[in-house]
Structure 1
């Protein structure tokens, strides 16, 4: 059975082609339009998918979309927002005034510089009028209640309009490519549960989904068994950890739904105890459930950001995310006795949270779907409706996009007038270049599916030099608080990381952090964060021989089984897709070398 899966069109629009539960092709529209998190009907991605697989629209048995109709979604969230009114009315928050005063007295003096901040205790400087407004709408009960309900009402109005708009765009887009058959609509969180469970390789697992909003929910717990999924609990929107984290991302000056990773990095520098209890006091936790007070009121986080250091605000929100999520999940682990977790949903892009989830007592195995955000939902829906049943093999890799022939690669190099070689021992030559301090971009094989670069559209450097985080980010036009992530030989995983047993499969896709060993801290400081964790990609040769061989050759030279791996793109651009994209990013980023297909290219104007 051949199924076309299309992810939600509001952001990160993605196409997946699945046959009998197996993914033949999957790629985001952003890679072809070159607009990050591209919304709208994924016309270019669909063209690439059909060309790559040799299929036409008439070959599909079904088209799947991971939301219900606009009318049905509206019914669900409208009821939720009515329920929220009763919760806000019944909730008795603690008096914020004394809490804030006491918290401010515990902010330490700091002098050690943090790259990317003007001062370690930098706050979001606001005018007197702005600060007064945030104080009223975020921290004064009557005004903040009013603002929270107004924000929920506006969210509902915008959501209704959005669902109608994208529903029309979906049906019109499919009609324009010749599809006249039905569109199989699916519960959003079931599509998340399906992609994680059906790619995990586990016969039985507890499926955890956490995101902003989807079909009336902000999260769910399900039992997956023998290819079937049974929901045990749903978290009603707007009690959304995704929204909570979006708020702090916005309030600290970053783009919500895009820059949450920066908050994770920033949080490690702060003290979660300064504001953690204040935040927790606004969340009503019960066994296996929780409710968030004034969940849609962004002005509370803006109020905190205008008074407290950015690092302490970030630390508190990360702490509360971890605490509330792990308390929620722990209950269901204990209730079901299932020791195996599979995770999906935008919140599970938070790699530090995933580490905390894996550390829950009783959890022995974990898998995080590599394209955990909404871009992966079309794949989940298509797999769910095409899998014939029973246990499914694990996802071997995420190289599901297009690849390019040698002649196409050569044409892109010639178009820029670049001189190139075809080395006899490419992996060995690249390893030597990296060992000698060169930055090498790699472009080869099928493009990765999802947000992480996993070797085929990757920039590599040795991890011995902590300063690389500053100067390479500057070359690429990036400002980051996280270190670069490492790629590590699979067989060296326990030499480099603590407590990785049971999470090896998740670590192949760079979806979870681990505490680093002394060996890793001493030999790869550029890949170790200030909290002594790293987010590795474990690589095995059968998964990606060319990439593995570079790392293996590097280990022979240096004795170190890890390298820096960062995505091959310029700042705020999607990861490169075509040879032309790769050549352009190589030249713009002033990278030293480009290993593209079988060819090796030296930058015509090297930086050193």
Structure 2
């Protein structure tokens, strides 16, 4: 069974080509268009996938899409928003003005600098008029109720138009390429559950999905066994942890659906206790469920952000996210007795949340699908409809994108007049350069699928100096609160990280944090966050020999089994795809060396 999966077109449009449950090719349109989270029909990604596999559209049995028809989607969320109206009118939240006044008395004085902030207690100062409006629409009950209901109406109108528009775009794009048969549609959260379960290699698992919105839901829990998934519960939209986190991301001055990772990093500096009770007082927690009061009122988080330090707002929202998600999952772990959890959905890009889920009593094993956001849904739908049955073996890697010939690499270097060498012992020489303090970009093999760079499109550096987080980010044009993530030899995992057993495979895809050992903190301070955690990629030689050998040679020189691995791209650009992308980013970022396949290239104008 050969199936073409296309992810939702509203953002991060992605193509997956799957045959009998095996992923032959998967890549996002952004890598070809060079526009971050590219929306629209994935023309270039599809053309690249067909060229790579040697297939044409006539060779496919099905084309699948992880949303229902727009009318069915509209019917689902319209019913939910009618329920929300009744809930808002009946819910009795404590007086917010009193809560805020008391919390303000507990804001601590801080003086220790935080990179990226002007002051550790910096707040969002939007001026008198904005602050006054936030105080009314975010804190005064009648006005805030109306703001929340208006927000839901606006969301409903926008969602209806978006779903209808992208449905027409999908059909038009496929017809232009010769596909005349109907598109097989799949319920959104079922596609998330499918990608997590069918790529985990587990026989039995509790499938948990958490995102913003999909087919009437913002999350789900299902029991998976023998290749089949049975839903146990759905979190009705708008009770959405994705929306909750999008609101605080926006309210703290970042781009929602793109910069949520910055909030995770920022949260570690703040005190969650300052505002957590205020947030939780607006949630109705039920056994295996919850409801969020005024879920679509963005002015509530803006009101808090205008009053309290950014770090404390971030900390409170991260705490509440963890509290609600772990409480929800804990209930279903206890109900089913299943000790294995698999995760998907945009919320599960939150690596600290995934650590908290793994720490739930009764959870013994965990797996997070590497492309957990909506970009991975087309793959989940294609896997589900192409798999003949039984348990599908786990994916060993996420190198599903294109690769390029040595000739294409040489031509890209020649176009910029760059000299190159072809070292006999490339890994050894690269390890020596990194040990000497050189920044090395690596481009080789098939491109990674999903949001993480996993060695084939990565920038490598030693993790011995914490200052690298400032100067390398500046060189790349980035502003980050998280430290760089480490790549660690698989066999050294327990030397570096506590409580990793049962999550080793998840850690091969850089999808979960762990508490670091004393040795890791001492040897690799640049890869350890202020809270003592790191988000590693574990690497085995059979998965990526060239990448592994660099790290193994580095360990032989330094005695340290970890390096910094950050994505090979410039700020706000997608990860590089082609050799030309790699050469351009190498030159713009003033990186010291570039490994382009078998070639080693020194920057013609090295940074001082």
> Shorter-chain TM-score: what band?
over 0.9
1:101 maps to what in 2? 101
Is 1:313 matched with 2:313? yes
Per-residue CA shift, 1:554-593, capped at 9, x if unaligned? 0000000000000000000000000000000000000000
Structure 1 residue 55 displacement after superposition: 0.3
1:12-411 maps to which residues of 2 (within 5 A)? 12-411=12-411
Structure 1 residue 102 displacement after superposition: 1.0
Per-residue CA shift, 1:291-323, capped at 9, x if unaligned? 000000000000000000000000000000000
TM-score (norm. length: structure 1):
1.00
Contiguous gaps of at least 5 residues in structure 2: none
Contiguous gaps of at least 5 residues in structure 1: none
Give me the whole-angstrom Cα distance separating, in 2, the residues matched to 1:147 and 1:249: 19
Give me the whole-angstrom Cα distance separating, in 2, the residues matched to 1:574 and 1:163: 25
- Give the aligned CA root-mean-square deviation in angstroms: 0.4
Give me the whole-angstrom Cα distance separating, in 2, the residues matched to 1:73 and 1:8: 13
Counterpart secondary structure, 2:199: helix
**Count of matched residue positions in the alignment of Structure 1 and Structure 2:** 608
Structure 1 residue 530 displacement after superposition: 0.1
Per-residue CA shift, 1:420-469, capped at 9, x if unaligned? 00000000000000000000000000000000000000000000000000
1:568 maps to what in 2? 568
Structure 1 residue 289 displacement after superposition: 0.2
Give me the whole-angstrom Cα distance separating, in 2, the residues matched to 1:124 and 1:112: 19
2:442 maps to what in 1? 442
Counterpart secondary structure, 2:538: strand
Structure 1 residue 128 displacement after superposition: 1.2
Give me the whole-angstrom Cα distance separating, in 2, the residues matched to 1:392 and 1:3: 16
Structure 1 residue 126 displacement after superposition: 1.9
1:604 maps to what in 2? 604
TM-score (norm. length: structure 2):
1.00
Of residues 326-335 and 91-100 in structure 1, the stretch that sits farther from structure 2 once superposed is 91-100
Per-residue CA shift, 1:360-412, capped at 9, x if unaligned? 00000000000000000000000000100111100110000000010010010
Runs of 4+ in 1 over 3 A off after TM superposition: none
Give me the whole-angstrom Cα distance separating, in 1, the residues matched to 2:282 and 2:391: 41
1:428-467 maps to which residues of 2 (within 5 A)? 428-467=428-467
1:6 maps to what in 2? 6
Counterpart secondary structure, 1:421: coil
Give me the whole-angstrom Cα distance separating, in 2, the residues matched to 1:41 and 1:268: 38
Structure 1 residue 127 displacement after superposition: 1.2
Give me the whole-angstrom Cα distance separating, in 1, the residues matched to 2:428 and 2:226: 44
2:415 maps to what in 1? 415
Give me the whole-angstrom Cα distance separating, in 2, the residues matched to 1:404 and 1:331: 48
Give me the whole-angstrom Cα distance separating, in 2, the residues matched to 1:432 and 1:127: 53
Counterpart secondary structure, 2:274: coil
Give me the whole-angstrom Cα distance separating, in 1, the residues matched to 2:128 and 2:262: 27
